[in-house]
Amino acid sequence: MSERGGGADSAVWGALGTVRDPELDEPITTLGFVASCTVSSPGRAQIRLRLPTYFCAPNFAFLMVADAYDAVTALPGVRSAEVILDDHFASDAINAGVAARAGFVASFEGEAAEELDRTRGHPSPPPPRGPHPYRDRGQHVHLLRHAPRPLSARVWIETPGGFREGRTTPQVSLRTRR
């Protein structure tokens, strides 16, 4: 449940509306990822985010939390901000890393090879052509599962002639192949 009042709360909510899910390219406010948003009198903002799946890719989750922190702390009148990701398998590492402004690599030491600057704000390129490009090149297709409501998302569909772009709808089920 999101709390929106007037003044500073509305400004913070507006700033959160500029933060986009890097996979769906939609605002986190529209997608319902903002569980709560409050601003206390001395300009302290507290935001809680909850993503639709416990196993959302940690790089995307980190980007949304870090972008939310950056958007809110850039507002005049906001003196401090706490952005907390709830109910995610990597929430401890993400929350600590964003609070310390440590970056993705330091937050996932030994697991992350590079920062996420190339990921931020850029749609995924089309998949490479040829037989089984994802499997052969070690890439993975990430699918949303267990969303709290029907979502429409851009996906790549394998056909005999290669890959084509498509969209999921509430009537189309997603399934994975091993």
Give residue-wise pLDDT tens across range 83-101. 999 999 999 999 999 999 9
C-alpha angle 95-38-108 in degrees, rounded to nearest 5? 10
Residues 125, 131: Cα–Cα separation, whole Å: 17
So what's the pLDDT on residue 34? 96
pLDDT greater at residue 27 or residue 128: 27
Residues 48, 40: Cα–Cα separation, whole Å: 15
pLDDT band at 134 (very low <50, low <70, confident <90, very high): very low
**Contacts with 79 (C-beta within 8 Å, 6 or more apart), sequence order:** 42, 43, 44
Residues 132, 163: Cα–Cα separation, whole Å: 10
Domain limits of the chain? 8-107, 124-178
pTM beyond 0.85: no
pLDDT tens-digit readout, 97-130: 999 999 999 999 988 888 887 776 544 444 444 4
Comparing CA positions, the residue from 13, 18, 9 lying closest to residue 43 is 9
Name which of 31-35, 80-84, 121-125 the model is least confident about.
121-125
Pairing mode, if any, of strands 154-159 and 80-86?
A: unpaired
pLDDT (mean) for 22-49: 92
Distances (CA, A) of 86 to 34, 35, 46, 78, 133: 10, 9, 13, 22, 35
pLDDT at 142 over 50: no
* The CATH number fitting domain 8-107, selected from 3.40.50.2000, 3.40.50.800, 3.30.300.130, 3.40.50.300: 3.30.300.130
DSSP state of 132: S
pLDDT band at 160 (very low <50, low <70, confident <90, very high): confident
Comparing CA positions, the residue from 103, 102, 83 lying closest to residue 91 is 83
C-alpha angle 96-100-102 in degrees, rounded to nearest 5? 95
pLDDT at 135 over 90: no
Residue 162 Rama label (left phi>0; alpha psi -120 to 50; beta): left
